[in-house]
Structures are given as C-alpha cells and as structure tokens.
Amino acid sequence: MSAGARVAAALRPLPTLYRVGFADAVAYRGQALIWLLSTNTPLIMLLLWNAVAAEGPVGRFGQAEFRAYFLVTLIVRLLQGVWVAWEMNMEVRDGSIASRLLKPIHPFWSYAFENIAAWPVRLVMTAPVVVVAAWLIGAQHVTNDWRQWLLFPVALFGGWALSFSGNLAIGCMSFFWQSTLAIAEVWFGLYVVLSGYIVPLELFPPWAQAVVVKLPWAHIVSTPVRLLLGHDTFEQSLSQLAAQWTYIAAFTVVAALLWRKGVQRYEAFGG
C-alpha cells in the first residue's frame, strides 16, 4: 500500500468520529450549558480588578482595558474546555478503555474528535456572549493589525491543543497510577494562576513574569488574548505561537511514549 493510500485509510474514519462526537455533544447540550454558565471566573475577576482600577490604572490597565481583557479571556475559556485527563482516568480504572483499543483508529484521535465535536454546540451557546463582549469592548481595545486577526484562530486552536495534549499526557499516566486526578487538579490549578486567567501576566512582578511567560500555561490563555487585544507586535505574536506549538509537539510526544508503555503494561496485566 502506498503512503498516500495509508494516509487516506487513516483519515477515512475521522468524519464518522466527528459525527458521533457531535451527536453526543448535542445529546448532552444541557450539561454543556451548565458548564458554560458556571465558567464565570473571568467575570468575577473583572469586577475585582475594575474596583482596583477605579483609583487609577494598574500598569497599562484601566477599567476599560480590564473589561476588554477579561471578556476576551472569558470567550477563550468557553471555547477551550478539555476533559480527556478525567475521562482516561475513569476508562483505565473501569476497563472501558479496552473498547477503544479494539478500534482500527488510534484512541488519541477519538479523544480529540470527541472534544472538537463539541465546538459547534459551544459556539452557538457562546454567540450571545461574543456579541455582548464585542459591543462592550469596542474596536479601540482590539488589534488593528489584520495579520493578528488571521493568527487569532490559530492561537485559539493552539491553546486548546496545548491544554488537550497536556491533559492527554496526564491521562496516559493512569496506566501506571491508580488515579491521576490529583495530577490533573494540580495542572488545572497552575493553569488558573499562571495562564492569565485570573490576572494579566504582565502584572506579575518582573522576576516572576520572566519565568511565567515561558511556561506552557501562559500559551493557553494569555497568548491568544494578548494577540487579539494587540498587546504584542506581530513579530512577538509569531514568537509566542512558535513557543505554543513547540509545547504542543512536546506534550504529544510525551503522551505517545506514555501510551505505548502504558498499553503494554495494561495488556500484560490482563487489562
């Protein structure tokens, strides 16, 4: 079989995976709506920082700038939900992951498409938030560089892919530990603090900022948000995207290695 034929054979199941994932997303749309409504941390932080800025700007951030930052952060967060670490932990423990091993496509693809298939449902649900946010932010607080507008979907997808690949690596650790939920919670805690989710990273002390901006969590939220708001130059945005996708590749390689060793161990113990 030629290389082209092998690629075509590998890609053939993907539309079916997407349709199945989309059907599940529609079936559980009520649960998704509850999750969306509960994801309100950026709005809480907006109120807090807005009160702080009432007495004067904090760095570059006045009240209008904080409003723009946290509304964009909210949109980014709503479109980047990932649950694969929790799902893999459950499936390894109850044995249901065996059904994925019997399918002719790598489970990484099925996990990814189950997540991606939820996007249309989330886009519909977040559309009112996007419209209101766009009205509140105004054109003066977003980038006027058309090249950055083109990069924003890449950065937004990259943020999801980085979160997914990191969670995938954590999920693969389930083959070696009874539960990886504690690791997943640590990852999420670091994400909340170090991604720009609750405070813009440039408000960290200079010594901390120099470290935080190089960590993977900064490229999940802060990179797409800063890009859309025009806080970086186009060249700086390209550099941030390069770092973002380097982390994606690194976590994917780690997940693949853990998966290979984990499946061998799982099968050896009669999983």
Each residue of 30-82: pLDDT tens digit?
444 444 545 677 778 888 888 888 888 888 898 889 988 988 888 888 788 78
Cβ proximity of 187 and 85 under 8 Å: yes
DSSP 199: S
Tokens for 227?
């890009």
Which residues does residue 162 pair with via DSSP β-bridges, in sequence order?
none
10-27: pLDDT as tens digits: 456 556 555 555 455 444
Give the pLDDT of residue 7: 44
Cβ proximity of 115 and 164 under 8 Å: yes
**What span, in angstroms and rounded, lies between the C-alpha atoms of 6 and 114?**
23
Which residues does residue 61 pair with via DSSP β-bridges, in sequence order?
58
Which residues does residue 58 pair with via DSSP β-bridges, in sequence order?
61
How far from chain centre, in Å, is Cα 249? 14
Tokens 């059907």: give the residue: 23
Tokens for 4?
């082209």
H or E, element range at 7: helix 3-11
pTM for this model (two decimals): 0.83
Give the pLDDT of residue 269: 53
Cβ proximity of 77 and 39 under 8 Å: yes
236-255: pLDDT as tens digits: 999 999 999 999 999 999 99
